Structure 1
Amino acid sequence: MKGFKSLLTLLSLLSLLLLAACGNNEKDEAANEKDAGDSGEKTGYTIEHAMGTATLEKTPEKVVILTNEGTEALLALGVKPVGAVQSWLGDPWYDHIKGDMEGVEVVGLESEVNLEKIASLKPDLIIGNKLRHEAVYSQLNAIAPTVFSETLRGDWKENFKLYAKALNLEDKGNDVLNDFDSHVAEIKEKLGDKVNQEVSVVRFMAGKSRIYYTDSFSGVIFDQLGFKRAEHQAELFTEENQLGNLAIEVGKEVIPKMDGDILFYFTYAPNGDKEALNTAEEWTNDPLWKNLSAVKNNNAHEVSDAIWNTAGGVMAANAMLDDLEKIMAEK
């Protein structure tokens, strides 16, 4: 009987040890899961995008980005791409991002990507845009999981959210967007009643000129700040305008419509394009331009095409707000 009791005691001890071991294993597994969550790791997640869905086995580490605004999104999220399309202005990057792009390989232009170069970088994620790259989606997707935004217009925030999700950095992305909105609110408060003025935005290019409107990069930011648009420009943006409310190409006879309480203008002149620079000089020396009230009142301001239009991303958006604060403080 004594031996039987000893056996029971021994079995009880073994049971307790096994239960403790199981408990520790469960705690270890839970801790490991928590660590993975804290590090941002995610396995087997699927992203819905403009061309369907893309499945990633883990958080991507080698990313190729095929749009200018997308490059800024990655940098703002703390991700340096292994490859990116060349900036529309700069050699090869915009001045405001070149310090962050050291070592990044050029993979062609946004309008003409280099598939062989992209493949050589062995990315685990490619981010592109349907408007720009629909024709090569299949080839890109054969290289690596590929996520496409739908289009490229003034509201860069929608694309930014998609990119943050694809990179498994949604929380970081929300922080970036919240910081931008706070920046807008700060500038709006500093400007006070100055936002009640009507603004006009003009762009000069090689042999042509445009008035930019509400769906443009600068237009969306002006709207968020509360600025009004030049009222007499509304009649230009009809259903027949091929660019919608983004912009409209105009001749010199429309220069009077470029007027506003404040006029901002910029020139797209890649590599110092002389034709574009000559267009800007010709138009700004035209008697009709000189007769604009904004010009006569010293309220016409030349600004950076890269910052105010071409780059199109979150870093440029913040830089535009800084430019605007400085310009308006002087008035």
Structure 2
Amino acid sequence: MTFNRPIFKKILLCACLATSLGTFAAEHTVNTKYGNVKVNDDVKRIVTLSEDALDSAIALGFKPLAAVATRGGDSVAEYIQERVEGISIVGTSRQNNLEAIAAQRPDLILASASLSKDQYSILSKIAPTIVPNSPGMVADAWITLAQVYADALNKTEEMNVILADIEKRASNLKDKIATKLPEAERSATLARWMPQGPVVMSSQIFSTDMLASVGFEINDAGVIKEGRPHSSPLSLENLSKVDSDWLFLATLNTEGKDALDAAKTSPSFSRLNVVKNDHVVTVNGQLWTSAAGPLAAHAILDNIQTVIDTKIK
């Protein structure tokens, strides 16, 4: 976290004065990782410091003033860019820019569940800061986080409707897959191709949750350490570990795409059964391996619908 201390103190004073003007507005209390936080019922100036917080806020009809950049990029994820044209970038998933955050004069900060106590102590002086209790890497963790952000935005009922719609849509796609694809042909691996090689993504992250919700059986090849979102890079000689019935392949940037293109010319890649069966699905790495939230869920379900329409006979 970077900041110029004298300038930051001035910005912080302005932020505190702005916050004090809303002291007498109606409030509600949100339970968070660092205790109960009082939030105005009608917030206007929102800063989001995680990709799932941004997604949830937009899904609920808000346009945050600022957000952090997606992994492998210098702006928000591509799937959501059109909805937040002109949004300010105030950090990355690993580092927040305090000056930039305070300069937005927010009346609410929606932070990542991994935000440290030290960072929270500073950010909470700028505006009420919501840090969800992390459910850890478990199925549907993204839903728990979305509900906390909705509570902070005083939109719990609206989020429940949104989540129910996603569940219904996933159920409909699951029925289609069950009809068209035999159970023995539904194993799937999600891998992100890096310049160093492919990393296998965990069966307990957001996007593999979505794949499982429509009936795919997630195969993480047993190469991921407990509690980690992905494996170490695999060598081309070990590509057989991702030879499931279906392989969803993601890249984050140009370097990853170039490495994948090179790998596709190798015998190790072409001899995979999933390649021979034309069951390799190229997906956006920002969406599939970094994002989370209701809008991301619909975007991934869109991709799965395309697979059903074009690749499942």
Same fold (TM > 0.5): yes
State the Cα RMSD in Å: 2.2
| Unaligned runs of at least 5 residues, structure 2 | 1-24
Q: Check if 1:300 corresponds to 2:280.
A: yes
Q: Structure 2: how far apart are the matches of 1:149 and 1:280?
A: 36
Q: Check if 1:216 corresponds to 2:169.
A: no
| Unaligned runs of at least 5 residues, structure 1 | 1-41
Counting matched residue pairs gives: 280
Does the CA contact (< 8 Å) of 2:197 and 2:236 recur in 1? no
Residues 90 and 234 of structure 1, relative CA distance in 2, 3 Å threshold: closer
Does the CA contact (< 8 Å) of 2:249 and 2:282 recur in 1? yes
Does the CA contact (< 8 Å) of 2:192 and 2:289 recur in 1? no
Does the CA contact (< 8 Å) of 1:210 and 1:247 recur in 2? yes
Q: Check if 1:236 corresponds to 2:227.
A: no
Aligned to 1:25: none
- How big is the shift at 1:66? 0.3
Which protein is bigger by CA-based radius of gyration? Answer: 1
**Aligned to 1:108, what secondary structure does the other structure show?**
coil
Query: Over residues 137-191 of structure 1, what are the superposed CA-to-partner deviations in whole Å (9 max), with x where a residue is unaligned?
Result: 1110011111102447573111100000011100111111111111112212222
Q: Structure 2: how far apart are the matches of 1:308 and 1:46?
A: 33
- How big is the shift at 1:328? 2.2
Aligned to 2:144: 158
**Aligned to 1:61, what secondary structure does the other structure show?**
coil
Question: Following TM superposition, where does structure 1 have runs of at least 4 consecutive aligned residues deviating by more than 4 angstroms?
Answer: 151-154
Q: Structure 2: how far apart are the matches of 1:195 and 1:181?
A: 22
Q: Check if 1:201 corresponds to 2:190.
A: yes
- Aligned partner of 1:309: which letter? T
Query: Over residues 74-110 of structure 1, what are the superposed CA-to-partner deviations in whole Å (9 max), with x where a residue is unaligned?
Result: 0001011122112335552333222211242221222
Q: Structure 2: how far apart are the matches of 1:242 and 1:278?
A: 30
Aligned to 1:122: 105
Aligned to 2:121: 138
Q: Structure 1: how far apart are the matches of 2:262 and 2:117?
A: 38
Does the CA contact (< 8 Å) of 1:307 and 1:317 recur in 2? no
Q: Structure 2: how far apart are the matches of 1:180 and 1:120?
A: 36
Does the CA contact (< 8 Å) of 1:200 and 1:258 recur in 2? yes
Q: Structure 1: how far apart are the matches of 2:215 and 2:159?
A: 24
Query: Over residues 36-81 of structure 1, what are the superposed CA-to-partner deviations in whole Å (9 max), with x where a residue is unaligned?
Result: xxxxxx8232111112221124332211110112111100010111
Residues 76 and 135 of structure 1, relative CA distance in 2, 3 Å threshold: same
Q: Structure 2: how far apart are the matches of 1:208 and 1:234?
A: 15
Query: Over residues 176-228 of structure 1, what are the superposed CA-to-partner deviations in whole Å (9 max), with x where a residue is unaligned?
Result: 11111111122122223427211121111232421123112221112211211
Query: Over residues 91-140 of structure 1, what are the superposed CA-to-partner deviations in whole Å (9 max), with x where a residue is unaligned?
Result: 52333222211242221222211111111211111110242454411110
Q: Structure 1: how far apart are the matches of 2:215 and 2:251?
A: 25
More deviation in 214-223 or 65-74?
214-223
- Name the structure where helix makes up a greater proportion of residues: 1
Aligned to 1:175: 161
Q: TM-score normalised to the size of structure 2?
A: 0.82
Q: Structure 2: how far apart are the matches of 1:251 and 1:135?
A: 39
**Seq. identity, %:** 26
State which of 229, 243, 261 in structure 2 corresponds to 1:259.
243
Aligned to 2:174: 188
Greater RCO (CA < 8 Å, at least 6 residues apart): 2
Residues 111 and 236 of structure 1, relative CA distance in 2, 3 Å threshold: closer
Query: Over residues 10-34 of structure 1, what are the superposed CA-to-partner deviations in whole Å (9 max), with x where a residue is unaligned?
Result: xxxxxxxxxxxxxxxxxxxxxxxxx
Q: Check if 1:71 corresponds to 2:60.
A: no
**Aligned to 1:109, what secondary structure does the other structure show?**
coil
